């Protein structure tokens, strides 16, 4: 299985837009935090994080043909990561059912990064440091705020037995801890 450095290099080579690379890294850190929250062994924590980092590898190629999103990534990674990770990547894009904990985690984590980044960017300091969970919960109700971040998809955190507040708190803390890596 590929290591984090190889996965990061592949992500950077496949995705020319820095903001999308930052999204992938943000998804990685949320997935890592979720795996730790569930008390998974370190090997699974690494696998979950890699699935988050690699989940949108095909975005530049499939942006105009979203029906292929996820499937192209799975083809690119076949034999390079395990089947459970491949399934989670397919499931996040709606190409496979969300069955396992990693499937459900990646599906919920994906739009959450954009939602939290949007909350940081509307602040005067444009920083994650001062974003608070209570402001995220308030912004949740504003349909025009971070319109591309599916509330329904984020609310699927309930499938992980996490409340919206618990999930946003965990995701925000993970992103704040590694803010420099995601450009905020």
Percentage of the chain surpassing pLDDT 70? 100
pLDDT tens-digit map of 30-48: 999 999 999 999 999 999 9
- Please, which residues have CB within 8 angstroms of residue 91's CB and are 6 or more apart in sequence? 97, 98, 99, 103, 106, 107
Q: Look up residue 29 and give its two tokens.
A: 């850190």
Q: 3 burial class (0-12, 13-18, 19+ CB within 10 angstroms)?
A: exposed
Burial label for 34, CB within 10 Å (0-12, 13-18, 19+), is: buried
pLDDT tens string 80-102 = 999 999 999 999 999 999 999 99
Write the pLDDT tens digit of every residue in 116-171: 999 999 999 999 999 999 999 999 999 899 999 999 999 999 999 999 999 999 99
Measure the CA–CA gap between 76 and 120, rounded to whole angstroms.
33
Structure tokens given for 58: 């095909």
Which domains, from first to last, does the chain contain?
4-182 (1.10.3210)
**Rg of the chain, C-alpha, whole Å:** 15
Kindly report the pTM of this predicted structure: 0.97
Around Cβ 39, how many Cβ atoms within 10 Å?
Answer: 8
Instruction: List Cα–Cα distances, 169 to 8, 54, 62, 133, 145, in angstroms.
Output: 26, 23, 31, 6, 18
Mean pLDDT across the stretch 4-22?
96
- Give me the pLDDT at residue 66, please: 86
- Residues comprising the chain, all counted: 184
């Amino acid at each position: 299985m590929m290591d984090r450095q190889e996965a990061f290099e592949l992500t950077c080579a496949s995705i020319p837009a820095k903001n999308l690379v930052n999204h992938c890294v943000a998804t990685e850190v949320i997935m890592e935090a979720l795996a730790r929250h569930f008390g998974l062994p370190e090997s699974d924590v690494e696998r979950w994080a890699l699935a988050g980092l690699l989940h949108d590898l095909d975005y530049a190629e499939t942006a105009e043909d979203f029906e292929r999103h996820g499937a192209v990534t799975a083809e690119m990674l076949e034999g390079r990561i395990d089947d459970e990770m491949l399934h989670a990547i397919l499931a996040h894009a709606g190409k496979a059912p969300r069955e396992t904990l990693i499937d459900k985690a990646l599906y919920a984590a994906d739009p959450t990064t954009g939602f939290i980044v949007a909350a940081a960017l509307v602040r005067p300091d444009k920083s994650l440091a001062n974003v608070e969970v209570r402001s995220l919960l308030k912004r949740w109700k504003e349909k025009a705020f971070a319109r591309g971040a599916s509330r329904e998809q984020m609310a699927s955190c309930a499938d992980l037995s996490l409340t919206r507040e618990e999930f946003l708190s965990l995701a925000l803390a993970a992103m704040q801890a590694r803010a420099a890596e995601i450009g905020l």
